[in-house]
Amino acid sequence: MKGPHNLDLSADGKTLWIRGFVGQVAAVDLATHKVLAVIPVSLGHAGITVAPDGYVFTGAIADHVVDVIDPATFKVIKRIDVGQGPHGVRASADGRWVYAGVSGTNKVAVIDAHRLDVVKQISLKGQLPFFVAIPAGQKTSK
């Protein structure tokens, strides 16, 4: 994998998930330092987040989807259309929601992390959302 761009840890702290610059995600076992898988994902680079229940979400700045990876199979199980240019993604502390900054539409897409679909688009009136941050322990809603 070329060009690591962003990363996140699994809830158990055993797997490091790395989003590359060119449409790939790598899963690395932190105990052995071995690459468990390199997963093809949508175009470009982006942020990555591991929801507390385990699914891995990553944007695609050169595309219009957030990819959902099942950590048990290392496969993309769904591509969620959020609008052009999703980059930053972050799961809520309770794992119920995933927020994706969609740079091409100046919105934040709110994804239901259980149903794996967009439930709301929040307009930012031209603020170019790139990264998304959620304070630890913060209660979130759609």
Mean pLDDT of 81-109: 93
Encode pLDDT of 38-71 as tens digits.
999 999 889 999 998 889 999 999 999 999 999 9
Q: Which residues contact 84 (CB under 8 A, 6 or more apart)?
A: 63, 64, 102, 103, 104, 105
Residue 45's pLDDT is 87
Strand ranges across the sheet with 4-9: 4-9, 15-20, 24-29, 35-40
Reported as a pLDDT band with limits 50, 70 and 90, residue 93 is: confident
Nearest-angstrom CA–CA distance, 37 and 72: 11
Reported as a pLDDT band with limits 50, 70 and 90, residue 22 is: confident
Encode pLDDT of 100-136 as tens digits.
999 999 999 999 999 999 999 999 877 777 777 776 5
Residue 136's pLDDT is 58
pLDDT surpasses 90 at 80 = yes
Domains annotated on the chain, with CATH: 4-123 (2.130.10.10)
